[in-house]
Every structure is written in C-alpha cells, then in structure tokens.
Structure 1
C-alpha cells in the first residue's frame, strides 16, 4: 500500500518538525497545506516535502482538508494534524484494509493530553480519497462521496495529540476560533445535538464550565442515539462539568443513563466520582472496585491506579489510615498517591 499523508497547518513551527519526522518512515508522500502561517511553518515543511501548498482560510476545515486530498497522488491517505505525533505504527495492521473489497476506513487511536490526563479515542483517519471526502466547517466529518454507509476497522496506529495543552491553546488561540465556528454551526443546525456537544466540549476545555453545562443540557434535551460514541462522551462530559461547577447533587443524574452505559468502565468510574462527591462512600468504593482490572477506558489509569487512589482518599477521609496507606501503595508511581504517602 502506497500511503500519502495529508496535513493542513497554520503557525505550527513549535510542533510540525517532530510530527513530520516521526511520520517519514511510514508514508510515501507528504502533502502539507498551509492556511496562512506567519511563522516558520512552511520553511519547516519544505525540509520534508516539496509538496507544500497555500490555501486561503475560509472558516471551513472541510474545504482545506478536501484541497489537501486533491493534491495527493496515492489513493490511500492518512490525515493528521501538526500537533499529532505518531507513537506506534504497525504496518501489518494495514493489511486488513486491503483484504476488504467494500469501502472501509481505518480508525487510529488518538491520545489527547488534557490537563495532565491522557484520554484516548478512536478516529477515522485512513481511507481512499477516491471514495471519501470531508463535510463540516469545523470538527469535519468523513463521509462517502455517494452518501452510502461504510465499514470501519481499528488499526494498530497510535497518535499523541498535544493541541489541548495550555501552552498550545494560548499560543494558537484555537479555543476562541473554534467557539466562533461552532456557534455558526449551532445556528445553522439547532436541532442537531452533535454541534451543541462540540460547542460544550470547547467551553469545557476553556474551563468555562457554566457555558459547557448550558450547551450539554440543550443537547441532552434533543432526541439522541445512545449507541453513538459521541453521545456517551456528551453524557459523561456533562457530568464532569457539573462536578467542576460543584453541582454534585445534580450530577447524580448520571444514574439515569445506567441502562445505556452500565458496561462502560468510563461510566463506572464517573459514577464512582459522583457518589464520592455526594458523600455516598460505600457506593463510590463499589463502583471503583468494579473498575480495577477491567478493560481499558478512555482515560489512562481508569482501570488501575485512579480508582485505587480514590478508594484511598475515601478511607483517609473516613479516618481509616491503614486501609488508606494500603491503597495508596497499590497506585505504583502515581505522583498524587506518592505525595499522600509522604504526608499521611
């Protein structure tokens, strides 16, 4: 399989070189589309490829993405951003795509680094450009050109997304830009909960939890398909926002979604946090114990040191020092647990 990388950039001199350097062994062509950089971004890109193109920014990510796809010479393309760095790429996993005749899209593992947490998700990023293109001015969606459904397969490709770190957010001013674009999408599609979810998530990243809750509530009041991945994220991020607003009693609304997500470790862990913040300690410990040794969740450590740490905190608050120390010690090298062990 010959693979083209398609990337759109703007003022990414801090991150671009590492991203492209990590990708070089895995792609046969690099396409970089610049949407108006005023720093050394294009200069850095030209060290890796001569296929660097200008595209005037028109407040439409899909338009820029599709322009990059048009410039590729290979049919199979991998779409990444400059703030995303490959950490794992098992080429043998690509054979799955070649064995399937039907239209198929490869989903890579994206690890978002947010407030010192590593939150993973699967996203569609590897596909045939002859069959697919993007739609949507922001948080653009991959769709078949004929509008028909398609299959997806998980690939053994992992990427770290560093665009949500405080330093990058401040430097790029992406929060303000995204809010502006998302508000336009919500205005155009007021009955589509997806755009309210994305707007709420952006306010959440900006730590404007009151606005985030308002957006999430509007989305949750609309008809929802609870089998969709983003809807579970909507439900859970709404509750995290309520916790950050210290609306602990209101966060108990999470119980209402048990029938949809009882088998999700992310749901179990969050339910434990909700009980913990409502001083329902027995129920909280029960939830956290179910997380230990469970399958991986979106948040790193959610099946190991994080529930153990929370159990230790509960025991310490209740005055059970021996039990607290025992669970802190089970957290391994988790810095917060080591700190408590020094101070308890």
Structure 2
C-alpha cells in the first residue's frame, strides 16, 4: 500500500481547519502544514492533529508556498489539500481503496472537485476533475522498441473520489488584492493567469474591481496574446464601458468582439445592460436574447443561461406583458436549478 503526505498551505483557517483534518484522519500518513502568517488559532488546532508545521513568509505567490510544502513531504505520494475541503465517508472509503491498489506506474491521480457553483468560485462547473495526488519521486523510463525515447508525459488516472469544496465565503477580495500587487511589481502574467483574473472578475467582481483592472487589460492589447485572450479582454473592457456609461468604449470593443463571427455572451449581455439602463427596452431585449440563445459564455456560464433570461423577463414586465415575463422567469429558474 502506498503512503501519502498531505500538503497544505494555510492562513487564519481556525473556523474550518478541524473539519478538514478530521476528514483526513486515517487516509494520510503525515500532514505538512505550511502557515503563511496566521494570527488566529490555526497553528494550535494543527498541533492537536500532529501536523508538521512550517512557517513560510508570504510573497504573493501560492506556487512558491506549494513548492515549499512539497519539499517537506516524505511519503510516496503527495495529496494537495486545502483547509476548506472535506472528504465525506463514502469518498474516504474510495480513497483507502485507492491507496491499497494504486499501481506504481501512475504519476498523477485526478479527483472530482465538487460544490463549485454554490460559492462563486472561479470555475464554471459544479464538478470537475483536478489533479490532487502526485507521485513524490518520478522515475523516468524508456519507451518504444526502436527509436526509443524517454517517456515525458505523466501517467494520469481519473479516480471516482470526490472532494467537497466547502468555503465559508469566496476568496475574491483576497485574490483581487494579490492580482493588483503582482501588477504593481511588474510580474508577467501567463495566459492562464490572465484568464483566471478575467474569470474571477466576471464571477465575483464588483464595479470597482473592474475599473481597477481596466488599465491592466487595456495594456495587454499592446502585447502578443492569443485570440482567445483578446476576446476575454474585450469582455472586460465592454463591462468597464458599461459601468462608466462610456458608449464609445462599449462600441469599440463590442464591435471587435462581434466581428470575430462568434460574439461572447458577456459582451451581448453588457450591451443589453447598457440599453436597459437607458430605458431602451426593445434594444435591450435583442441583446439579452443574443446572450441567452446565440452565443457562448467566455468567463461565466450564467451569462448565457439564467442571467439574460431574468433580464428579458424584466423587460417584458416593464412592457406590460406579464405572460411573457413569467415564461422567461420560469425558464431562468429552471436553468438556475439545473446548475446547482
């Protein structure tokens, strides 16, 4: 049977930590807990569970903290755990079975990350596979009987284990602060990180967060970025234009987005919002309809699901058409229910 190190990075998690550590009992062989500056009772709780506690000075870099935690692990595999995660009894049994039967050729085990949409996380699926268990030391092997080569791609196994993500609140405020500090430092953003920033804005950002981010996303257009990222930037800048009631800004980036031949739901929705706020109900309905039925969401699935349908209902309500308003409101409610 394999051995497992659980590696965690934490800060001020006293409200949820015990719940997480209870669910890890009997599953892992050691718990590495890296604290990035707790001022509450986090460390005291961790000591009760015999965690190996290390301090790490926070430098606005989760990857650095994760790497430090991995460097302290000593078991065969490393399980990446967060304090707001829980493994219920059904999935504890699956985890134990996995430990007993895992073959050494597997490098990475993915587990289903569940309960995403309920807490406004930066992902658009309620359940999705994430790599959670990693082989600590990887052995390289040669493959192919002729023209042999070293196998570089890891062997990944999709398990049936579900990890419940149960945060008490979303981390948007913390994340937006970190993004801004990284920008001020001149840190280069990967396209993945740009996408995550844009997605988090559209899922949990307030107007002030968009306006704070506007210059960063505008500046990205002067760099070499992919067409996919350009579309995300257009979504952000159209939203900024709508917030500022800047019709020229909306027009500039909405038209470029639509000219691609595949408009983004977020852009259509924001144009709808602009006309709705101008009390131009007929025009608003056209754009909300496009968001709901003719486009795909880039950043937040709700923008081509129930959100535009709810606004169409409001438009019909304003126009005095109660029957159509109720029709679209029911469609919106059914979609919202299906996503939870």
Query: TM class by shorter-chain length?
Result: 0.5 to 0.7
Pick which of 105-114 and 209-218 moved more: 105-114
CA distance in 1, matches of 2:233, 2:24: 32
Per-residue displacement from partner, 1:38-57 (whole Å, max 9, x unpaired)? 32101112233x13222241
What pairs with 1:201-220 in structure 2 (closer than 5 Å)?
205=205, 207-220=208-221
> Which residue does the alignment assign to 2:316?
315
TM-score by length of structure 2 reads 0.65
What pairs with 1:235-314 in structure 2 (closer than 5 Å)?
236-247=235-246, 250-251=249-250, 253-254=253-254, 256-257=256-257, 262=262, 268-279=264-275, 280=283, 281-290=285-294, 299=300, 305-314=306-315
Unaligned regions of 5+ residues in structure 1, if any?
133-145, 336-344
Per-residue displacement from partner, 1:252-276 (whole Å, max 9, x unpaired)? 52553468894xxxx7542441341
CA distance in 2, matches of 1:86, 1:248: 49
CA distance in 2, matches of 1:124, 1:232: 28
Change in CA separation of 1:163 and 1:13 when aligned onto 2, cut-off 3 Å? same
Q: In the TM superposition, what is the alpha-carbon distance from 1:328 to its structure 2 partner?
A: 1.8
Secondary structure of the 1:33 match is: strand
CA distance in 2, matches of 1:4, 1:258: 49
Q: Tell me if structure 2 keeps the 8 A contact 1:11–1:41.
A: yes
> Which residue does the alignment assign to 1:128?
135
Secondary structure of the 1:106 match is: strand
CA distance in 1, matches of 2:234, 2:86: 29
Q: Tell me if structure 2 keeps the 8 A contact 1:213–1:242.
A: no
Q: Tell me if structure 1 keeps the 8 A contact 2:33–2:53.
A: yes
> Which residue does the alignment assign to 2:54?
54
Change in CA separation of 1:176 and 1:276 when aligned onto 2, cut-off 3 Å? closer
Q: In the TM superposition, what is the alpha-carbon distance from 1:21 to its structure 2 partner?
A: 3.2
> Which residue does the alignment assign to 1:162?
167
Per-residue displacement from partner, 1:82-128 (whole Å, max 9, x unpaired)? 24455895948979x968957556375476679x7455256544322
Q: Tell me if structure 1 keeps the 8 A contact 2:5–2:32.
A: yes
Secondary structure of the 1:68 match is: helix
TM-score by length of structure 1 reads 0.65
Of 110, 113, 117, which residue of structure 2 is paired with 1:106? Answer: 110
> Which residue does the alignment assign to 1:338?
none
1:45 aligns with 2:51: no
Secondary structure of the 1:32 match is: strand
> Which residue does the alignment assign to 1:189?
188
Q: Tell me if structure 2 keeps the 8 A contact 1:3–1:28.
A: yes
Change in CA separation of 1:209 and 1:300 when aligned onto 2, cut-off 3 Å? closer
- Bigger share in strand: 1
Unaligned regions of 5+ residues in structure 2, if any?
140-149, 276-282
Q: Tell me if structure 2 keeps the 8 A contact 1:109–1:158.
A: yes
CA distance in 2, matches of 1:64, 1:245: 38
Q: In the TM superposition, what is the alpha-carbon distance from 1:213 to its structure 2 partner?
A: 1.3
Once superposed, what is the RMSD of the aligned Cα atoms? 4.7
1:34 aligns with 2:39: no
CA distance in 2, matches of 1:201, 1:299: 7
Q: In the TM superposition, what is the alpha-carbon distance from 1:150 to its structure 2 partner?
A: 5.4
Q: Tell me if structure 2 keeps the 8 A contact 1:105–1:127.
A: yes
CA distance in 2, matches of 1:10, 1:105: 26
Per-residue displacement from partner, 1:116-141 (whole Å, max 9, x unpaired)? 74552565443223359xxxxxxxxx
Per-residue displacement from partner, 1:203-234 (whole Å, max 9, x unpaired)? 8847332221111122233222346xx77655
